[in-house]
Amino acid sequence: MPSTAQADCLTAFGALRDGAPASAFEIGEGCNRFPPSPVLGRYLADVMYRLVQRGAFSSYADPFHGGTRAAVAELLGAHLHIGLEPADVFFPRGGTEAINLAIAHLAATGHGLTLPLPNYYAFDQSAVRWGAPVTGYYRHDGTLHSTGATAERSCLVEVMPNGITGVRHNLPAGPAPDFTLLDVPFQISATGQPPGVKLRERLARLDLRASALIITASKDLSVPGLRAAAVISKNTALMAHLGRDNFERIATNSSPVAEIVMTLYASLLPVLESPQDEAIQLAVRRAQDTAKRAGLPDLPGLLDYQRLRRHLAAMSSRFRRNMDRLDRTDSPVTIVHHSPTAGDPTAGYSAFAELREKQSDFLRWVRHSGRQGLRLNPAVVHGGTTAAWQALYPGRQLLRMNLSEPPAELDHGLNLIQQQLLSTPQHATTYS
């Protein structure tokens, strides 16, 4: 039976937030604060109008008759160099639901989880809820902390890039897992590198019959409220589980607009990698033909794809600017730079930073800061257990930093951190 217990990271989150006023300033929250493209807004408004005109919201049935699955299978399959069929695509209500449903199935089939640390809270919470044992946690260099739990089968969870640190973790040594769950929370990089190169390399070594890919448009396109995500897998048992869950909740689970967003996102990824105008034109034309054959609303025109590309390039520039700002000598924190063997350079809008001036009791200082009007997000709220954090990151005073913040707000947040450090004596062990 599902457990009613709560993951340690959520318990820690509640304790650290206790007493923080609602008006407190937060730095390091988990959402993309770069605004969505106006092109996307206009396109979605037009899609909504067309859907209303064709009566798409008059029933719970799929208004596209599987067309979005067919289009995403064709577009993502071509981009990732893997052969996909419509049956290999499932649309959950966002990446968090995809994690929860996948882990429910893995728990029911006897799988234990090996999780990256840090990780998104949903992995630990879903494991607790559905009774999937977490057999180990691994950090960016592949070092593994075993929890002592055992399971009949193994599942390796890989987040690429890690949603909290923005780097790709090396995988832990050991026998090949029975199943791999690969989560791709974002692809736009602060370095401007093509988003699909590393992902294609990884997928080339995976068998989709024993693995699943979760991919979302929410973070890159700044539209988390639309819950746009897809699960890609050829594992028939998992896909059947997802289908049964969808049938049971069809009255609350259908989201044709989110499916269109995923189609647009799948068509945009090759455009972001195209080095020349001719290649962009070809990618756009192919995507438009795919959508038309699938019976979907028209995708944007070439000029709008070019505008989307420029918008995401500007977003990448903000990530880079903020990363450089965090590393300045007058910053109260410094970005945690991983070794070249740790994988990708910083990507997405999330990074780990460490206090330059260590506190004698870091978590009490974080809680005190919250009560003083500054909400921070220390490492312990991002998955794992106390034992795992102490084993893999001993003595580290790590905070999640959001690279998508408007520069003025990031500067304000850093000033507040500096003020908290100056007002707190180094030798203090308790805080009011």
In a 10 Å sphere around its CB, with 0-12 CB exposed, 13-18 middle and 19+ buried, how is residue 367 labelled?
buried
The residue whose two tokens read 């190169």 is: 197
**Which neighbouring-strand residues pair with 215?**
184, 230
CA distances in angstroms from 100 to 135, 196, 234, 267, listed in the order given: 18, 25, 18, 27
Work out the angle at residue 224's Cα, subtended by the Cα atoms of residues 220 and 404, and round it to the nearest 5 degrees.
50
Give the mean model confidence (pLDDT) for residues 353-379: 94
What pLDDT was estimated at residue 344? 46
Give dist(CA 118, CA 290) in Å, integer: 38
**Cβ–Cβ contacts within 10 Å for residue 289, how many?**
12
- Parallel, antiparallel, or unpaired: how do β-strands 179-184 and 153-159 relate? parallel
Q: Phi and psi dihedrals of 181, rounded to 5?
A: -110, 110
Q: How far apart are CA 87 and CA 415, in angstroms?
A: 51
Specify the DSSP class assigned to residue 87.
Answer: G
Q: How confident is the model at residue 4 (pLDDT cuts 50, 70, 90)?
A: low
What is residue 338's predicted lDDT score, i.e. its pLDDT? 59
Taking the C-alpha atoms of residue 432 and residue 369, their distance in angstroms, rounded to an integer, is 10
Residue 89 has pLDDT above 60, yes or no: yes
Instruction: Kindly state the DSSP code that residue 150 receives in the 8-state scheme.
Output: -
For 311-345, how does the pLDDT look when each residue is reduced to its tens digit (9 = 90+)? Answer: 999 999 999 999 899 989 999 999 887 555 554 44
Residue type, 430: T
From the number of C-beta atoms within 10 Å of its C-beta (0-12, 13-18, 19+), residue 400 rates as buried
Q: How far apart are CA 76 and CA 213, in angstroms?
A: 11
pLDDT of residue 347: 66
pLDDT, tens only, 61-77: 677 888 999 999 999 99
Per-residue model confidence (pLDDT) at position 35: 95
pLDDT above 60 (res 125): yes
- Name the amino acid, one letter, at 385: T
Per-residue model confidence (pLDDT) at position 416:
95
Sheet with 333-335: list strands edge to edge.
333-335, 350-355, 398-402
Q: What is the DSSP letter of 230?
A: E
145/132 Cα distance (integer angstroms): 17
Strands 134-138, 398-402: pairing is unpaired
**How far apart are the C-alpha atoms of 392 and 142, rounded to whole Å?**
10
Tell me how crowded residue 153 is: count the other CB atoms within 10 A of its CB.
12
